[in-house]
Amino acid sequence: MELATIRTAEGTRAAVRSGDQWLPLGAPHLSALLTDAAWRTTAQAALAGTAPHAVAPVAVDDAELVLPLPAPRKVICCGLNYADHILEMGRDLPEHPTLFAKFADTLTGPTDELAVPAAAQGALDWEAELAVVVGAELRNAGEEEARQGIAGYTLANDISVRDWQNRTLQWFQGKAWDATNPLGPVLVTADALDPEAGVEITCEVNGIRRQTGNTKTLVFSAPALVAYISQFTVLRPGDVILTGTPGGVGMGMKPPRYLADGDTVVVEAQGLGRLANTIRFTD
Amino acid sequence: MELATIRTAEGTRAAVRSGDQWLPLGAPHLSALLTDAAWRTTAQAALAGTAPHAVAPVAVDDAELVLPLPAPRKVICCGLNYADHILEMGRDLPEHPTLFAKFADTLTGPTDELAVPAAAQGALDWEAELAVVVGAELRNAGEEEARQGIAGYTLANDISVRDWQNRTLQWFQGKAWDATNPLGPVLVTADALDPEAGVEITCEVNGIRRQTGNTKTLVFSAPALVAYISQFTVLRPGDVILTGTPGGVGMGMKPPRYLADGDTVVVEAQGLGRLANTIRFTD
């Protein structure tokens, strides 16, 4: 099943895809939809045509997909998670995931311009990532419970302000700039996509391929990350976990190459669609 | 003005102190009260006796003070901020604050028992801190705007799971264990307390003094921290910022001394009251 948040004349709506149409559901967005324990049934009823819909279907070609999950309570990110990249850097595989947090405010839509204030323009970098969307309340979950508790997957670009990230030991202040982390465009449910079997994720900047990674090389799989995090904090429907980025970021280039005003960054994966965001320097 | 969230027969209520009484206000807690831009006027009207109160006043001696701010959208913490402690460790004063995030779920009440699961029992440490409570929406604020946007101050104990904190470079997973960070007991408004003039904060474990710090030695003052953070993310009424801990944590003792089942940790400051929490190992 493929879910999204679409813009309609009546405001944004959670929607489920049926062929070349998006069928709007009652909830205003996927954050709201997922808090209803019956969200799968609701979406399936719309697909089966057994649910009345208050808003007319929208053709896929005409639909504007916005930030699918505008209100996660938790956005938790993993660093250093692609085995091939870690090994090529000459490092040992980590025993534990490296984790940090960002906010709902950090997220933005799949085609939104990224407005970057002067203070963040010096070392702006890309990070293509698979994002996991939680679909159940999870506390101290084992890996199988965690797997069952994953609603599905989407794409993220963990845009990073490297100079701020490296000002101190803690990365947070380089990772939590408002409206800099594109997420979307769709939520593909876990029954329809298996990252452990392999999903290739790429990042292009102005049409030049910079990153290629396959999720089957993740040191910590999606269920492993969800289980690990749920040991210390409860996860709830709609929470988002970013799984880390493969090699090829701008900071690692010689010399480093950072994003400039007008650059377009595209993050893409088969079955998950694409994020395409243009950088706009402000101030 | 002194504000708190108190337990009443009708559920929790935001309240303002009038002599030896707490006057309940309409909001269920301070997180809700602060989202009303007229919160100062509301509290002042209660003090002036010009506002009807739906719930009877509660004697200060009888009142149960619970977590004052159960629903901040952001809880942001500063590390390495007491100049005397940094200098005694032979380090240079930092140019930028070291920041990390925790969650509303991390917080717990001023006298709550801290239930610690087996995985977190090996290296549990204390950190007495001054906490800043935001009272306005702040974006890219200068220091004076930040100062005006501070609602007031309270106490925090940034309980840290040191082994998890040190598993990777990022401290977050040692800092964000659910319901381990006592906050409260009261919110003293900024007109009634000036941390830059000096507030002595202490921490005792089982009655033995372990930490003493004075907020006048903070490298980054409360308004400086608020202004700095607001450069990258919006702060809103009810958000909480922890300002760092002075020397004397268990990890720094030789040999290190960590919290055990049954230990009681008391964080105290003149004018701000005290947090008193007992550790209870579970599992």
Q: pLDDT, tens digit, for every residue of B157-198? A: 999 999 999 999 999 999 999 999 999 999 999 999 999 999
A276 has a pLDDT exceeding 90: yes
Q: CB contact, 8 Å: B220 with chain A?
A: no
Which residues on B lie below 8 Å from A232 (Cβ)?
119-120, 161, 164, 173, 176-178
Distance from the Cα of A10 to chain B's closest Cα (Å) equals 27
Of A47-56, A201-210, B37-46, B263-272, minimum mean pLDDT range: A47-56
Alpha-carbon span B164 to B167, nearest angstrom: 5
CB-CB under 8 Å, B164 with A103? no
Nearest to B152 by CA among B30, B65, B277: B30
pLDDT band of A84, cuts 50, 70, 90: confident
A54 has a pLDDT exceeding 80: no
pLDDT band of B151, cuts 50, 70, 90: very high
Nearest to A153 by CA among A7, A62, A30: A30
Alpha-carbon span A263 to A241, nearest angstrom: 26
Amino acid at B262: G
Locate the domains of chain A by residue range: 2-66, 75-281
Tell me the average pLDDT across A223-233. Answer: 98
pLDDT band of B90, cuts 50, 70, 90: confident
Which residues on B lie below 8 Å from A101 (Cβ)?
100-103, 172, 176
Nearest to B132 by CA among B180, B175, B214, B194: B194
Residue A40 backbone phi and psi in degrees, to 5: -65, -45
Q: Pick from B79, B168, B178: which is nearest to A232 by CB? A: B178
A90 has a pLDDT exceeding 90: no
Tell me the average pLDDT across A98-105. Answer: 98
Angle (CA) A192-A198-A202 rounded to 5° is 100
Return the residue matching tokens 């910022």. B241
B1 Cβ contact partners less than 8 Å away, ≥ 6 residues apart? B16, B17, B40, B43, B44, B47, B152, B188, B189, B191, B192
A85 has a pLDDT exceeding 80: no
Contact (CB, 8 A) for A34 and A42 = no
Q: Pick from B106, B171, B173: which is nearest to A170 by CB? A: B171
Angle (CA) A152-A154-A160 rounded to 5° is 135
Average pLDDT, chain B: 96
pLDDT at B53: 66
Which two structure tokens, joined as six digits, stand for A253? 């280039």
Q: What is the ipTM of this complex?
A: 0.97
Angle (CA) B126-B249-B98 rounded to 5° is 85
User: Where is B144: in which H helix or E strand?
Assistant: helix B143-148
Q: Which fold has domain B75-281?
A: Fumarylacetoacetate hydrolase; domain 2 (3.90.850)
Tell me the average pLDDT across A90-116. Answer: 96
Instruction: Tell me whether the omega of the peptide bond preceding residue A255 falls within 30 degrees of 0, making it cis.
Output: yes
Tens digit of each residue's pLDDT (9 = 90 or more) over A120-178: 999 999 999 999 999 999 999 999 999 999 999 999 999 999 999 999 999 999 999 99
Tens digit of each residue's pLDDT (9 = 90 or more) over A189-219: 999 999 999 999 999 999 999 999 999 999 9
Which residues on A lie below 8 Å from B100 (Cβ)?
100-101, 170, 172
Nearest to A96 by CA among B159, B161, B124: B161
Average pLDDT, chain A: 96
pLDDT at A53: 66
Tens digit of each residue's pLDDT (9 = 90 or more) over A62-73: 999 999 999 999
CB-CB under 8 Å, B170 with A99? yes
A15 has a pLDDT exceeding 70: yes
Return the residue matching tokens 């301070």. B30
pLDDT band of B83, cuts 50, 70, 90: confident
CB-CB under 8 Å, A170 with B99? yes
Which two structure tokens, joined as six digits, stand for B215? 């907020």
Distance from the Cα of B238 to chain A's closest Cα (Å) equals 15
